[in-house]
Amino acid sequence: MQRIRAVGRAAAAKKYDILSAMMAHALAGDAQDQRLVLRLMALITTRYNWQADELSIGQREIARLWCVDERTVKRDMARLRASGWITVKRQGARGRVSVLGLDLDRILLDTRPAWSNIGPDYVARMGAEEMAPEEADRTVVPFRRADVAAAEGVWGAARAHLAAEDRALFDAWFAGLADGGIDGGCLVLIAPSRFHATYCRTHLIGRLRTAVRRSDPRLSQVRVEAGG
């Protein structure tokens, strides 16, 4: 679920804030990251429907906008999907292009380290707006917890990514998931209870897929099952 939606009376300001986060993230990266983010920002500013969260444009049109060939479009759009920034809402069929969406939650998570480059006022504003209600009620833990180091296997690496992004969320839900192996290109995770598995499938599957995909691009799916 997206925590920030650029709709309502403050829609214009929210759009600028999201684009500013992407810009700061790109400028803090290398030339390849800068080019990829700039190309996505071009799609957002010219073709993205903020209210419906829909981006509908064919590869030929993207290639013309980016001044590249369609092979480059396929490569960069695949990178954006793998990063979790772009999601496929409806797969294209004959004569119709795919309908894409933006995962604003994932974009804000990935760009957060660069927010301070914009300024403390931006950090304060975005931090307060991005916070979900359940996060605001979390009890602050006064002691430092040990870092979660990357372990062997796909899930071992994905665990480290998830812990680095949000340690409280990791401790509450991801730490209890066990590696159930890989089944037909899908990573199986075993939850300690049926409720735990249902919650992860309903609310956290997007984060799990992105972390797993970044650990091993060959895996595109995650299945959470309740343990016996």
221 and 158 share a domain? yes
Evaluate if residue 140 carries a pLDDT over 50: no
Q: How confident is the model at residue 82 (pLDDT cuts 50, 70, 90)?
A: confident
DSSP string of 135-181, one letter each residue: HHTPPPP-SPPPP----SHHHHHHHHHHHHH-HHHIIIIITT-EEEE
Query: Domains in the chain: how many in total?
Result: 2
Residue 208 lies in a domain: yes
**Mean pLDDT: which of 46-55, 119-128, 218-227 is highest?**
46-55
This prediction's pTM: 0.66
Evaluate if residue 148 carries a pLDDT over 70: no
Supply the mean pLDDT for the chain: 84
Phi-psi region of 179 (alpha: psi -120 to 50; beta: other; left: phi over 0): beta
Q: How many residues does the chain have?
A: 228
89 and 158 share a domain? no
Find where tokens 């249902």 sit: 198
Containing domain of residue 73, as a range? 11-106
Residue 146 lies in a domain: no
Residue 130 lies in a domain: no
